[in-house]
Amino acid sequence: MKIGIVGCAGRMGRMLIQEVLATAGAELAGGVEPTGPAVGQDLGTLVGAKPVRITVGTDSRALFAASDAIIDFTVPAATKAHAELAASMGKALIVGTTGIGDDVRAALAAAAKKTVIVQAPNMSVGVNVLLALTEKIAATLGNDYDIEIVEMHHRHKVDSPSGTALGLGEAAAKGRKVNLNDVARRTRDGQVGARPAGEIGFATLRGGDVVGDHIVVFAADGERIEITHKASSREIFARGAVRAALWAKGKAPGLYSMRDVLGLG
Are 241 and 224 found together in one domain? no
Q: What is the pLDDT of residue 234?
A: 85
Q: In whole numbers, what is the pLDDT of the chain averaged over residues?
A: 95
pLDDT for 159 equals 87
Query: What is the pLDDT at residue 109?
Result: 98
Residue bearing the bigger pLDDT, 8 or 143: 8
Return d(Cα 30, Cα 39) in angstroms, integer: 12
pLDDT tens column, 205-229: 999 999 999 999 999 999 999 999 9
Mean pLDDT in residue range 189-198: 93
80 is catalytic: no
Strand order through the sheet with 69-72: 27-32, 2-6, 69-72, 92-95, 116-119, 254-256
Residue type, 40: G
pLDDT above 80: residue 134: yes
Q: Are 170 and 180 in contact (CB under 8 A)?
A: yes
Question: Roughly how many angstroms between the first and final C-alpha of the chain, as a whole number?
Answer: 24
Query: Is 129 in the same domain as 225?
Result: yes
Looking at the fold, whether 109 and 11 belong to one and the same domain comes out as yes
CA distance 154 to 157: 6
Give the CATH number, domain containing residue 165: 3.30.360.10
Q: CA-to-CA distance for 126 and 45, rounded, in angstroms?
A: 31
- Asked if 34 and 79 sit in the same domain, the reply is yes
| Band of pLDDT at residue 89, cut at 50, 70 and 90 | very high
| Tally of domains in the chain | 2
For 11-58, the pLDDT digits (tens) are 999 999 999 999 999 999 999 999 999 999 999 999 999 999 999 999
Catalytic residue of the set 114, 157, 174, 251: 157
At 39, which CATH number?
3.40.50.720
Out of 80, 153, 214, 229, which one is annotated catalytic?
A: 153
Element (H, E) at 219: strand 212-220
pLDDT of 265: 65
Residue 158's pLDDT band (cuts 50, 70, 90): confident
> Based on the domain organization, do 79 and 9 belong to the same domain?
yes
Please report which helix (H) or strand (E) contains residue 256, including its range: strand 254-256
Residue 211: give the domain boundaries: 125-231
pTM: 0.82
- Higher per-residue pLDDT: 164 or 121: 164
Based on the residue annotation, tell me whether 153 is a catalytic residue of this protein: yes
pLDDT computed for residue 54 by the predictor:
97
Give pLDDT, residue 181. 95
Question: Over 32-61, what HEC string results?
Answer: ECCCCCCCCCEHHHHCCCCCCCCECECCHH
- Using a pLDDT cut of 90, give the percent of the chain over it: 92
Residue 77 has pLDDT above 90, yes or no: yes
Asked whether residue 99 carries a pLDDT value surpassing 90, the answer given is no
Pair 161, 227 in one domain:
yes
pLDDT (average), residues 182-198: 94
38 and 135 share one domain: no
**Better-scored residue on pLDDT, 264 or 110:** 110
Mean pLDDT, range 129-145, rounded to an integer: 94
The CB-side HSE value for 73 (13 A sphere, CA atoms) comes to 22
161 and 96 both lie in a single domain: no
Indicate whether 112 and 13 sit together in one domain.
Answer: yes
DSSP 252: P
pLDDT at 94 over 80: yes
Q: Is the pLDDT of residue 80 over 90?
A: yes
Upper half-sphere CA count for residue 194 (Cβ side, 13 Å):
3
Residue 90, sorted as left (phi over 0), alpha (psi -120 to 50) or beta, turns out to be left
- 87, pLDDT greater than 70: yes
